[in-house]
């Protein structure tokens, strides 16, 4: 495995929240980072600026994760800028909550497109391009174990992510590439906090034995572990949730 100073990562959904924390954490390890965004180039540029001002290397790349042509171009751009690709982290996803009985099926289709097809498209490109000694890291959710009401469609999409991730790990036999999924629990991101009252947030904060919400940086530490030293962790779902499940 090459040293981190010559390693390159692409992080999808890296313009904010967990994705930005992951991009900054990998850059702190000396990894050059492609900062992917779907619609918010300004926030992606802010992430790039934060990384470069801290002495790291980064470039912003855009595109719909579910569009194979856009993602092929994004992978091309990162390889062109930094000379190859060693780590792909797929944090991009959307969460639309509703009881199954009343879910708008258009919301189901939107989550399917981004969370399932998007993960599949990015994983497909990663499987073709990541160099030996590299890592592919997808994102699930601890709600697959917690079974919170109103999360049915979202959890269905993430269950699919776990299944394809574990199959891809076996398909990469002989290539020295690990494939894993990270499954965060309640994490203090704008996406998570939006629409929740203080009591709900307080109750969720107490749910884990560590009695707090996770932070994006907590999740990023697990990704950095899988992206770097964790060469014997492969074909796994890592529940990163403080012991909530």
Q: Classify 4-239 by CATH class.
A: alpha beta
pLDDT at 5: 55
The residues annotated with a catalytic role in the active site are 154
The answer to whether 178 and 139 are in contact (CB under 8 A) is: no
What is the pLDDT tens value at each position of the chain, 245 positions in all?
A: 334 558 999 999 998 899 999 999 999 999 999 999 998 999 999 999 999 999 999 999 999 999 999 999 999 999 999 999 999 999 999 999 999 999 999 999 999 999 999 999 999 999 999 999 999 999 999 999 999 999 999 999 999 999 999 999 999 999 999 999 999 998 988 777 777 888 888 888 888 999 999 999 999 999 999 999 999 999 999 999 999 97
Q: Is the pTM of this model over 0.75?
A: yes
In the chain, domain spans: 4-239
């Amino acid at each position: 495995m090459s040293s981190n100073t010559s390693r390159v990562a692409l992080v999808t959904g890296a313009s904010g929240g967990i994705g930005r924390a992951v991009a900054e954490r990998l850059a702190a390890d000396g990894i050059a980072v492609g900062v992917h965004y779907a619609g918010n180039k300004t926030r992606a540029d802010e992430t790039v600026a934060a990384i470069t001002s801290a002495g790291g290397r980064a470039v912003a790349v855009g595109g719909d994760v579910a569009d194979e042509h856009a993602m092929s171009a994004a992978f091309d751009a990162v390889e062109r800028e930094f000379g190859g690709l060693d780590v792909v982290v797929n944090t991009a996803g959307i969460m639309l909550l509703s009881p199954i009985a009343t879910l708008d099926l258009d919301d189901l289709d939107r989550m399917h497109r981004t969370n399932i097809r998007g993960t599949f498209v990015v994983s497909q490109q990663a499987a073709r391009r990541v160099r030996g000694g590299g890592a592919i890291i997808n994102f699930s959710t601890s709600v697959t174990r917690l079974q919170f009401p109103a999360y049915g469609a979202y959890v269905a999409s993430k269950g699919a992510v776990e299944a394809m991730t574990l199959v891809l790990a076996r398909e990469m036999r002989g290539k020295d590439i690990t494939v894993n999924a990270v499954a965060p629990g309640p994490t203090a991101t704008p996406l998570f906090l939006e629409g929740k009252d203080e009591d709900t947030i307080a109750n969720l904060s107490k749910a884990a034995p560590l009695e707090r919400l996770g932070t994006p940086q907590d999740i990023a530490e697990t990704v950095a572990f899988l992206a770097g030293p964790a060469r014997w962790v492969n074909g796994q779902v890592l529940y990163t949730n403080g012991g909530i499940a």
